[in-house]
Amino acid sequence: MTHIYECRILLIDDNPDLLSMLTHMLNKEGFTNLSIASCCREAREILAKELPDLIILDVMLPDGNGFSLFQEIRAKADLPILFLSARDEDNDRLLGLGLGADDYLTKPFLPKELILRISAIIRRTYLYGRSGSAENQSLSLGTRTVHLDRGTVESSEGETALTAKELLILKKLYENRGRIVTFDALCDAVWGDGYYTYENTLMVHIRRLREKLEEDPSHPKWLLTARGIGYRLL
Amino acid sequence: MKDLLKIYRRYILTAALISILIFILNLLLLFFFLLSQFGYKAADDYQSSRADTLSEHLTLEQGQYILTEEAEHLIDKDLAFAMLINQEGQVVWSRNLPDDIPRSYSLTQIASFTRWYLKDYPVKVHTRPDGLFVTATPRHSMWKYSVEFKEGFLSALPAYLLAAVLTNLLLIFAFAILFGQRFYTSLKPLVNGIEQLTEDKALDLAEYGIVGDLAGKLNKASSTLIYQRKALKKRDNARTNWIAGVSHDIRTPLSLILGFSDSLAGSPHLDDEERKEAVSIRENSLIIKRLIADLNLTSRLEYDSYPLQIKACAPCALLRSLIASYYNHDLAEQWSLSLTLADDLEGLTLKGDPNLLLRAFRNLTDNSIRHNPKGCRIQIHGSLQKDFLRLTFSDTGSGIPIQVIKTLYRTETSDNSGSLPHVMGLRIVKQIVEAHRGEVEFELLKDVCRSVVICLPLHCPPL
């Protein structure tokens, strides 16, 4: 798979209107390889013929439970599965995620949110691990290019190496590009538990990163500060 | 059980005090009685009618005994008779002497009546050189008793009296403790029963003895309470399940409305007006979605059916992620959020449900955004006050009307509850904070709440 839209998605839900809406919505977003099942039996028949790349699964089905079907599918193949259910209790969510589901979205949902979650799962499962993984990607920031695989920043003056911590911070920001990543999330990604003692250290690393990424580190254009909250990579 | 011991101690003390008071009262009465007796004997009448006094009024003149008129008058008034017996035992003078009284006496007769009675007349005697002067009071008017004590006994009497008083006191205490113990034993099952009642346990107290009736009433109260609790629990569960069921059933249709309206809102086949209507349907569906979630959460928090996922959470990290989520989801320009946190808050953690706490914080900021469509500046300030985390949420918008605050603290139901403002979002904030043993304060300025303060204890585990 070279693009997320090549992904084959199996939709399992007992509500025909919802299936129709999901099909329409996914088609509109570019996902055309879709198959639908309204019960466990139909889902088993489809799975017996061909395994999809992703399954969107309801929990309450007329002839069985979505959690049981999930276990049945996972016993055969390690497919990414997203639960889409009207059951919103924490216990249900925890059960679904605890079984190993890739995500759990409760109804009613925003179509955009479902698309974003599906895209994220596909990228994580099929694209990052192959040619499009973060490690193999290059990041272009104006006149400078960051080679995440090599951990270097290339500029007209030559190539500068990033330290291990700087690379971890940059990867976290890159994964959430365009969005604010809080100090806490960054520290947690780099140092793990008990991260709060590292906030000052984080600031030092950010300053050094800016020296390597920005034309003018005092007036950054790419690595911006959200005052009192965190940082954002444009 | 402490209360019962208190009652037991109070009972013993009261019983002992009452006994001692009665004892002292008796001593006082005895003292006053003796005092009155002394007073009676000291009186002129008593003194003048004594045998020795009267004897002085009897004189021998020219072989005739003559009694003064004053003495005659006293004998007639107070005594039955009086007589003088000479050395030979013959009555040589008498006054009012009844016929049945002998006129001569032997030594043994004299020895006998001088101490006791003469023909049932209580008598007193006075010796004089010419004989024995005898006075008698009317029959049955006086009781005579001879008292004899050994010398040793009289000298040891104060010690005996002290020992008697002490023995009495000891006995009083011993009996008070004994009866108190019985009282304690009979009350103990009742107290245990009341304690069990507070712990929601069924009672089956033995209904006999002095507290049998009370035990019966407690058993009945217990049955009533358990029945009511069960009924209440059943009703609460039914209500929570009904809300959960309805909200569950409404989710799939709402997903369709949201999905189709979102599709229509972006459809190139519709004109602007129709797209606006589709956007309105989508926005209102989102409101319904939030209301369902709020209704579910508030009913579950209200009836304690929401299991808190307690873990150590850093309030600073929660607040930063809250602000970041708003900016990451394209917060419109007319609103801005700022966060100021005291230095000592960094790294601080408290036990709580991070999702619920975040929900409470989000409800407050959502309120600021929803009720100020023209925009406002939302400020969140965090500080540490002793063992409490103090978070102040304020905005430059219209504020919360006092009517909303009053509705939030309204406990009784009334017919016009439908006309009250919608406070579910704030109610959830209050419920979540109270589930974490914290408090919500509304700071008012001219009948409008300008800032909401959440105080959360740092070292107190949630309910």
User: Which residues of chain B lie closer than 8 angstroms to A181, CB-CB?
Assistant: 324
pLDDT tens sequence across A149-193? 888 998 888 888 999 999 999 989 988 888 899 988 898 888 876
Strands (E) across B108-200 are located at: 117-118, 121-128, 131-136
Nearest chain A residue to B257 by CA: give it.
A108
User: Taking each helix axis from N to C terminus, what angle separates B151-198 and B212-265, rounded to the nearest 10 degrees?
Assistant: 30
Of B244, B309, B317, nearest to A182 by CB-CB distance is: B317
CA distances from A227 to A180, A208, A224, B338, B380 (A): 10, 18, 9, 9, 13
Of B248, B260, B320, the CB nearest to A21: B260
**Ramachandran region, residue A104 (left: φ > 0; alpha: ψ -120 to 50; beta: rest):** beta
Selection from B435, B458, B460, B461 nearest residue B307 by Cα? B435
CA distance B255 to A113: 12
Q: What would the DSSP string read from start to end of A73-128?
A: HHHH----EEEEES---HHHHHHHHHHT-SEEEESS--HHHHHHHHHHHHIIIIIT
Say which CATH architecture domain B310-457 belongs to. Answer: 2-Layer Sandwich (3.30)
- Is residue A221 a contact partner of residue A169, using CB atoms and an 8 Å limit? no
- CA–CA–CA angle B438, B444, B448 (5° rounding): 120
> Which of B248, B254, B258 is CA-nearest to residue A111?
B258
Q: Please check whether residue A23 touches B, CB under 8 A.
A: no
Which of A173, A198, A229 to mutate against chain B (most B CBs within 10 Å)?
A229
CB contact under 8 A, B296 and A88: yes
- Measure Cα distances from B73 to A106, B40, B45, B49, B98 in Å: 124, 20, 12, 10, 17
pLDDT tens for each residue of chain B, 463 residues long:
677 778 888 888 888 888 888 888 988 999 999 888 777 666 666 666 678 888 888 888 888 888 888 888 888 888 889 999 998 899 999 999 999 899 999 988 888 888 788 889 999 899 988 899 999 989 888 887 777 888 888 899 899 989 988 898 888 888 888 888 888 888 888 888 888 888 878 888 888 777 788 888 888 988 888 888 888 888 888 877 777 777 788 888 899 999 999 889 888 888 989 989 999 998 889 888 888 888 888 887 877 767 788 888 889 999 999 999 998 887 888 999 999 999 888 888 888 888 889 999 999 999 999 889 999 999 999 999 888 999 999 999 888 888 888 888 876 555 555 555 668 888 889 989 998 999 999 998 888 888 999 999 987 666 6
Q: Which domains, ranges and CATH numbers included, belong to chain A?
A: 4-127 (3.40.50.2300), 134-233 (1.10.10.10)
Give the pairing of strands B388-395 and B376-385: antiparallel
Helix (H, G, I), strand (E, B) or coil at A200: helix
pLDDT at B248: 80
pLDDT at B461: 67
Residue A34 contacts residue A13 (beta carbons within 8 Å): no
Residues 6+ apart with CB under 8 A from B405: B442, B444, B449
All residues of chain B having their beta carbon less than 8 Å from the beta carbon of residue A108 are 251-252, 254-255, 257-258, 285, 289
User: Where exactly are the structural domains of chain B?
Assistant: 2-42+148-189, 44-136, 213-298, 310-457
In contact, B335 and B366? CB cutoff 8 Å: no
Candidate from A21, A111, A197 with C-beta closest to B347: A197
Give the mean pLDDT per block of 10 residues along chain A (234 residues): 86 93 91 93 93 93 92 91 87 88 91 91 76 60 86 87 91 88 89 72 91 89 90 90
Tally the residues of chain B: 463
B317 in contact with A at a CB cutoff of 8 Å? yes
- Residues, chain A, total? 234
Q: Closest chain A residue to B321 measured between Cα atoms?
A: A182
pLDDT of residue B346: 84
- The helix (run of H) or strand (run of E) holding residue B130 is none
Q: Which residues, numbered 130 to 159 in chain A, qualify as contacts with chain B under a Cβ-Cβ cut-off of 8 Å?
A: none
* Size of the A and B interface in Cβ pairs below 8 Å: 95
Query: DSSP assignment of A63-74, as one string?
Result: TEEHHHHHHHHH
For residue A182, the distance in angstroms to the closest alpha carbon of chain B comes to: 6
The reply to whether ipTM tops 0.85 is no
Distance CA B146, CA B115 (A): 8
Looking at the complex, does the CB of residue A95 fall below 8 Å from at least one CB of chain B?
no
Contact B307 A197 (CB under 8 A): no
d(CA B125, CA B105): 14
pLDDT at B414: 52
- B263 to chain A, any CB pair closer than 8 A? The answer is yes
Residue entry with tokens 């699964």: A57
- pLDDT at position A132, please? 44
Closest-CA distance, B260 to chain A, in angstroms, reads 7
Q: Are strands B335-341 and A60-61 parallel, antiparallel or unpaired?
A: unpaired
The answer to whether the beta carbons of residues B15 and B8 sit under 8 Å apart is no
Mean pLDDT of chain A: 87
Cβ distance B286 to A88 less than 8 Å, yes or no, reads no
| Alpha-carbon distances of B32 from B23, B101, B445, rounded to whole Å | 14, 39, 76
Whole-number Å distance between alpha carbons of B269 and A20: 19
Distance separating alpha carbons of residues A178 and A232, to the nearest angstrom: 6
Q: Which of A173, A175, A155, A152 is nearest to A164 (CA)?
A: A152
B44-136 maps to which CATH number?
A: 3.30.450
